[in-house]
Copies of this chain bind each other. A is one copy, B any other.
Amino acid sequence: MLNQSPSLDPVFHALADPTRRVMVERLTQGPASVSELARPLDMSLSAVMQHLQVLESTGLVTSHKEGRVRTCRIEPMVLQSAEDWIARTRAQWERRLDRLAEFLADESDGERSK
């Protein structure tokens, strides 16, 4: 059985929503309060909080409350784990293409030398 990474499940699930991707993109520019995260989004603060909870449950985002302001930050290592899986998987496919190209080149050489 190939390697399975259960911890990637919630990360890819979190990224499967355009609102949550917008929140992640915003946080790459620096920490933001929940109100700042909500500003470009056409939804209630409580809906934004629900998306934030999904992001926090994966570890993609952490938040810290001081007084009445909750400040959110991105955790790029978690994003990196998802990128690594995709990059590794695509690299496997490219290696296969390279082997296929080599095989076809050898075949072609073999035909010419007959």
Residues of A in contact with B (beta carbons under 8 Å apart):
1-6, 8-13, 15-18, 21-22, 24-30, 40-41, 74, 76, 79-80, 82-83, 85-87, 89-90, 92-94, 96
Contact = CB atoms under 8 A, between A and B. Distances in A.
Contacts of A6: 18
A89 B12 contact: no
Nearest to A17: B9
Contacts of A15: 8, 12, 85-86
- Identical chains in the assembly: 2
Contact of A9 (B4, B11, B18, B74): B18
A80 B76 contact: no
Contacts of A90: 28, 76, 79-80, 83
